[in-house]
Structure 1
Amino acid sequence: MLDVHEIIRTACREHDHDIESLIDLEQYIGRLGKSTEPLELVSFRCLLQDTGYPMEVYLPGEHPEGEVDWSKLKERWVGWGVEIPGEQSWVGGDMQSVPGSLPAAVHTKYPLPDRKGDYVYDDVAFRPSSTHHFIGILSSSPLPSNEPEATEVVPTLHVLKIIDEEIEETVEDVREEIVDYLASAFSPPDRLAGEYLLLLLLSSPTARPAAMTPLGTLAINFRRKDESATANFNQIVQSIAPRVVPLPLSIQMLHSHPFLPSSTDSSSLDAGLLQLSEGTVLVVEEDAMGSGGQLNEKAVKNLKALAECITEQRVRYEYPYMEGLKMDSAIKVVVLSQGKTLLPVDIDVIVKGSHENAPIAPGSLQTLRRYLAKVSSRQHAAKLHIPDEIGEVIQEGFVQGRKENAETAEETLKRRMKVARLLALSYTEARLTKEVWQRTLQLDEEVMSRRL
């Protein structure tokens, strides 16, 4: 981080404000204002959409007129941040967003419509699509441009502090309660689907072996009879998952909205719909395709990008002088449809709830949120333990499966291992026991039986 006093001096200089008359520096640093006037402290949770701007040169410290020492020039990093796509209002508490309308020049820099953004200063570099919680001084600055006459002014945040998000070490074990609650996302409630939905919500790429698909991921297609229940599904998921983005996959959407981030002249990066923060749940509503229709080149490209995001957990960034640049992502993709999906999912679950299963209200949504945050964290995934004896049991089952059906044995094993890993993580001890493996087999068999 830059020196805090230097940051404040820079912000004051931009508004021709005497720093000494502002406020005692130590008091100022400890203050968080509710208003969004210039030189107020604000809190900004954001996704860094564009991190490719050139470093900015500035002159620190006081320099009397005519006595400038140009050897003291320094550089500072600049990025463009937007409100985190799909983040629920209950996540950040009393967060302060940046104010005002923005120039048309930045309207293409938002993955989702109707979002606000901010120009962020700091002295460290970040990767695109990373999420951060900044505390800083609100100001304004011209937007970088290749056009020397461009004078578009945008809100600017001089970063004083980066807040680290913490995961509670000890949480209440509410696994059965959260499965019951997620079962009510389907109409009528379906506990099998609810358990698979839980596994999807705690999935994340934990390792990326070379020439292989990432470990720890899970994409699911839930096939239900009636698309009218989509709103209820989204409401349930949004109530406990911090970032959820519904995607009505219509022909019009595929033809009109870019899915990939792109740059036409290397000076600025336009956002794509798949430029989402780590852990975002992307709810693909495939019923929006209706009876289908002809896809143009852009639509085919968007579908391919979505498929790559699911299987590889990577998103392509398009630059004019750089081909095939892909950056890691961690997006949880669930597909809602009335038939088999066109997308490359891992599991296809036919929803067959019973009207006898009434929706169950949770005791505390906050308790469910804390549990989900814990079991879906990287720290918890790192604790996963698979004892040698369980490995032997799995291997014996695979040998037996090959004897029964050699063509499907390998695919079945891969699917079951994906589920078994996540099923083990859904328990607070994160251990793949014989009981967990048996439950994996039961879930797999029930999903297969629903297709008959």
Structure 2
Amino acid sequence: MVKSDFVDALSDPTRALLEFYDASGDIDAFPAKVAAHFANIFASKDAFSEIPTIHTVDPRENDRRLVSFRAMIQDTSPSPEMYLAKRSGGRCGGWGLADDAASDDAASDDDLDYADLRENTVMWAVGVPGESDWVSSEIDATDAPRSTPLPESHPFKFPVPGAPHLGVQVKVYDTSRADLLKSTDLVTLVGILTMEIMTSESESPNAIAVPTLHVLFSRPIPPTVVPRVFPYSSSTITFERLRDQLISWIADEGLAGDKEAAEWILLNIIAKVQSRTPPLLPLSLTLSKFPPPPASASPTPRLSAVLAHLLPIVVTLPLSLDVLNNSSFSPESKNEDLHSGRLQLPRGSVCVVTEGGVTEGGVFDRGLRNLRALQEVMSSQSLEYIFPFSRFAFETDIAFLILSEGRKSTFFQTNANVQLRPNKAGELYGEVKEPSPETLAMFRDLVGGAKIGNVTIGESVAEYIQEDFVAERKTAATPAEAVTSDDLIHRMMVTRLLTLSLHETEVTTDIWERTKAMEAARRARLT
């Protein structure tokens, strides 16, 4: 990378783009060359950190600034846009530049060469829903203050109603890369920020300008958002001690001291889709006997705040009759515009569902459809998108934690039910006491690393598990007490997660026996 390229791209991306076009020529290959060229300029971590985030720039006052946007792709359905790839005099078009072609001295309908028309891909992207506060401070190195938030023009395209967020029209010129972007994908988009009328509303007399990002290049974001490694290693603390500290902190700050439940929470939040065929899906968990909040307390449990300190993406879904009957959990296309649903969440999300707000009353048609949609995502990790004449299921990867006041969830079937047994009074709602920043950073490394890890089962351990399963079936006092194949599948799921939480790469017989002990203790609580 030439230093002048970096300075020019950062200070005046439009000029840098025009100069690169003059040196490149071919309009067909140019979009791919642009992506490679600018990605190379900002390839290093230090160079990339110099790009201001979209939240620090107001496009109403600073037009055509270079920005980065950590985003979730919300809608890929808008029609492609035609743009003039080569303006009069052979100048570069696209990236918002073709818009002023009509003002060119030589530009007219007679001069327009239709062979120079190309398509870009138009999408709608939103800030990452449920992103924890600490993520931006860890990733975004810039110290620039945030600009005044733009009025949100399309709030129905964000999955968390009422939450502050930024929605942006995105135009991608390298269509081969655009084809790889799917709904709920996490991606960092780098491009030139403007204010433009939405392409889909260009014919409407009531259309308003929205933030529009003309993408130069993009980077995928891992499910952990912040890069993590597996297995974990530290020169300052043993892993066993760190894991025990993490479980104790979750218990003390989120579960009123219940360490057994805290260990199950740890397994739940590191779960992910490991395979679709055969299905190895995230462990869904019900935490039952979870008391409702006192009248004077915040309705959001401390556990949600605890998880937000550990995880990059946590969304709390407070069920109530109003939420069930008057909102949508599935994305739905209305008037050719995709409205988001509460379950349109990126892969790697953790969703905490609270049932305490559901009081007496009726659950009507929409409410029943919402409950079915949530159960379907938990059971199969797929979410239906509703279009006027069709429905399409899209893959998800979301870990669900259900907080229920009763002995089990009122509405959902989950993989496991853990009954809360708090040993401290009144500490399930309110403020959370954080550990030291250094300890919290290690907790995040442990959890994030476990979420990306993979484990194997050796032949000897597999044989041990099989023999143990057969022996346990034979020794059952009654047929009703005998373990089933479903029990074995569940235990294997828990064993894999326990192995990951220990940052081990291979299942051992000790971990299998530990899983059995955890399962026995969990079942004993229920009886």
- Per the normalisation by structure 1, the TM-score is 0.86
How is 1:36-435 mapped onto 2 (pairs within 5 angstroms)? Answer: 36=58, 37-64=62-89, 65-66=106-107, 67-93=111-137, 94=140, 99-103=149-153, 106-113=154-161, 114=163, 115-122=165-172, 123=174, 124-125=178-179, 126-145=181-200, 148-150=203-205, 151-165=207-221, 166-168=227-229, 171-172=233-234, 173=239, 174-209=242-277, 214-228=279-293, 231-265=301-335, 267-290=336-359, 292-323=360-391, 325-339=392-406, 340-341=408-409, 342-355=411-424, 361=435, 364-377=439-452, 380-381=453-454, 384-403=455-474, 404=476, 406=479, 408-435=483-510
Q: Per-residue deviation at 1:288? A: 1.2
CA contact (8 A) 2:272 2:397 kept: yes
CA contact (8 A) 2:195 2:211 kept: yes
**Seq. identity, %:** 28
CA contact (8 A) 2:281 2:381 kept: no
Q: Per-residue deviation at 1:185? A: 4.2
Distance in structure 1 (CA, Å) of the matches to 2:233 and 2:327 = 41
User: Residues 10 and 146 of structure 1: is their aligned pair in 2 closer, same or farther, counting only changes over 3 Å?
Assistant: farther
Q: Per-residue deviation at 1:10? A: 11
Q: Per-residue deviation at 1:98? A: 9.0
Residue identity matched to 2:307 = V
Distance in structure 1 (CA, Å) of the matches to 2:288 and 2:374 = 19
Q: Per-residue deviation at 1:152? A: 2.6
Q: Per-residue deviation at 1:107? A: 2.6
Segments of 4+ in structure 1 off by > 4 A?
A: 4-7, 9-12, 28-31, 95-99, 358-363, 405-408
**Deviation per residue, 1:11-59 (Å, 9 max, x gap):** 99xxxxxxxxxxxx99x98663443222122221111110111221212
User: Residues 164 and 294 of structure 1: is their aligned pair in 2 closer, same or farther, counting only changes over 3 Å?
Assistant: closer
Partner SS, residue 422 of structure 1 = helix
Distance in structure 2 (CA, Å) of the matches to 1:336 and 1:310 = 14
CA contact (8 A) 1:98 1:116 kept: no
Q: Per-residue deviation at 1:322? A: 2.1
Distance in structure 1 (CA, Å) of the matches to 2:434 and 2:510 = 26
Distance in structure 2 (CA, Å) of the matches to 1:131 and 1:426 = 25
**Deviation per residue, 1:280-330 (Å, 9 max, x gap):** 11110011113x32111000000000000100111100112323x100001
CA contact (8 A) 2:78 2:200 kept: no
Which residue of 2 is the match for residue 16 of structure 1?
A: none
Distance in structure 1 (CA, Å) of the matches to 2:341 and 2:272 = 21
Unaligned regions of 5+ residues in structure 1, if any?
Answer: 13-24
**Deviation per residue, 1:104-133 (Å, 9 max, x gap):** xx2321111232200112122210011112
CA contact (8 A) 1:219 1:347 kept: yes
Partner SS, residue 440 of structure 1 = helix
Q: Per-residue deviation at 1:145? A: 2.7
Distance in structure 1 (CA, Å) of the matches to 2:470 and 2:350 = 36
CA contact (8 A) 2:13 2:65 kept: no
- Per the normalisation by structure 2, the TM-score is 0.74
User: Residues 10 and 305 of structure 1: is their aligned pair in 2 closer, same or farther, counting only changes over 3 Å?
Assistant: farther
CA contact (8 A) 1:216 1:422 kept: no
**Deviation per residue, 1:132-186 (Å, 9 max, x gap):** 1222221022113367234332100112232344334654333222222222244
Distance in structure 1 (CA, Å) of the matches to 2:76 and 2:405 = 40
> Whose radius of gyration is greater, 1 or 2?
2
Unaligned regions of 5+ residues in structure 2, if any?
Answer: 1-7, 19-36, 90-105, 222-226, 295-299, 428-432
